[in-house]
Amino acid sequence: MLHACVGKAGELLEEFSRPPSHHGTRDEVVAEMSPSTNQIVLLSMQSPPTCEFVPYLSATDAAKAVAFYSRVFSVEPHALLNMPDGRVMHCEFRIGNARFFVSEDLPEHGGAPSPTRLGGTTVAIHLYVDDCDAMVKTMSDNGATILMPPADMFWGERFARIRDPFGHEWGIATQLQEMTADEIKAVAAKMFEEMTE
């Protein structure tokens, strides 16, 4: 389903926030700034599937956040829309079969506050990668803060916690072995029992 929309940044934010009316995937977002009207022209956009969960990260100085995520995840933005003043209105990243969005913290448009404005975050993003240690090092080398260094966990993963320079917390994990829910419960019960002895 293709949409055509011409309007100011606030109107386009409303366009992005509308619930999807059709099934399908958003394969492409094309937009440009009209020099004659100083308006953003959204040329095409497909509706996302109704069952997908996509984190939308709000960031103070989102342009730097976009550059950071591009570096550490070795991906270019799949879609990027800037406001007339150059701030990031919407950016989409795809990592494997997952994706997440990034936007400038825009209190004037009623958006979710960034961790910087909020003074912390209430959400952690869990990301599976091929090499937990390598990803944590890459993020740390680019300014992220390690909250918990990589370690082998009882649920069969190598896991670490890290805060990126924009306040978002990430759980970085690599699966070491397949475990059933019952196996994890048994290992956890034994661990907690040993802790109380």
Q: Dihedrals φ, ψ of 105, to 5°?
A: -65, 115
Name the token pair of 88: 């990031």
Arithmetic mean of pLDDT, 97-101: 92
Dump pLDDT digits (tens) for 35-89: 555 555 554 455 655 678 899 999 999 999 999 999 999 999 999 999 999 999 9
179 within 8 A of 155, measured Cβ to Cβ: yes
CA separation (Å) from 98 to 53, 129, 155? Answer: 9, 12, 22
Residues 6+ apart with CB under 8 A from 57: 65, 100, 101, 102, 103, 166, 168
Residue 19 is predicted with a pLDDT of 46
| Residue 58 maps to a domain | no
Q: What is the CATH number of the domain that holds 157?
A: 3.10.180.10
Arithmetic mean of pLDDT, 13-27: 46
| Residue 156 maps to a domain | yes
| Residue 106 maps to a domain | no
In degrees, rounded to 5, the angle at the alpha carbon of residue 55 between the alpha carbons of residues 52 and 58 is 150
Arithmetic mean of pLDDT, 7-30: 47
| Residue 21 maps to a domain | no
Confidence of residue 1 (pLDDT cuts 50, 70, 90): very low
| Residue 11 maps to a domain | no
| Residue 86 maps to a domain | no
Residue 77 is predicted with a pLDDT of 94
Nearest to 63 by CA among 121, 104, 116, 111: 104
Count up the domains in the chain and report the number: 1
Helix (H) or strand (E) holding 33: strand 29-34
Partners of residue 146 on adjacent β-strands = 162
| Residue 24 maps to a domain | no
Residue 171 lies in domain: 121-197
| Residue 103 maps to a domain | no
Dump pLDDT digits (tens) for 113-133: 999 999 999 999 999 999 999
Q: At what angle do helices 132-141 and 62-73 cross, to 10 degrees?
A: 140
